[in-house]
Amino acid sequence: FRDLFFDTATEMGENQFVFIGYYNAGKSTIFNRLINEDLAVTSFYPSTTIDLNKVDINGFTLVDTPGLVYEDNILFNADKADIKRITIKKTIKPKVYQVYSEQSYVIDDLVAVSLLPINSKASIAFYIDRDIDIHRTKKSNLNEFINSHRPKLNDHSNTKSYKIYETKCELVLNGLGVISIKNIKEVEIRTVSDIGIIKRECVF
């Protein structure tokens, strides 16, 4: 990895590289690997890097920067326990469910996703950290389940509804992961904070 980076940098004729991007994206981890020491502090928690880290190595200057902060990221309003629990730590393996009727899926105590299928071939796949709990229930039982087991999700003001016209698409939940749906005509997403949600064509 290091050899490939420095060989490519030499071919490009550039001698200064600044690592800029979203917080918790892995900038400091890559920076540490390139300089071959743990100069930049890394952790599960956003905004761990609070200042510029500048290193001259092999004739190049590398600069690690604090991550860009977006307030609609679920991590922005989460506590430390939530952040550690939902941050992806292992290779993602999708959790796939067939959707035969109007159903809801409660992701930990952070998000509830309700679906109205078109037909018996409807499905949903979650691309999130594999250790996060997903509870499946009938849509008609959702409020009762939340009241009894996930009270953090009781605030209905953070609910977004989507009409789906594509056979397949994905919903990106900023800071949590991706939901891939097939043969679904309506989606309702309730979250603990006002997080960014983007609908896009399928990547997975």
Residues in a beta bridge with 115: 103, 187
Q: How far apart are CA 10 and CA 4, in angstroms?
A: 10
Average model confidence (pLDDT) across the chain: 87
Mean pLDDT confidence for 27-34: 86
Query: Which carries the bigger pLDDT value, residue 25 or residue 165?
Result: 165
For position 160, what pLDDT does the model report? 94
What is the DSSP pairing of strand 123-127 with strand 177-182?
Answer: antiparallel
Q: Does the predicted model carry a pTM greater than 0.75? A: no
Segment (H or E) for 85: helix 80-86
Report CA Rg, the chain: 20
Q: What is the mean pLDDT of residues 105-110?
A: 94
Question: Do 94 and 51 contact (CB within 8 A), yes or no?
Answer: no
Residue 29's pLDDT band (boundaries 50, 70, 90)? confident
More confident residue, 90 or 53: 53
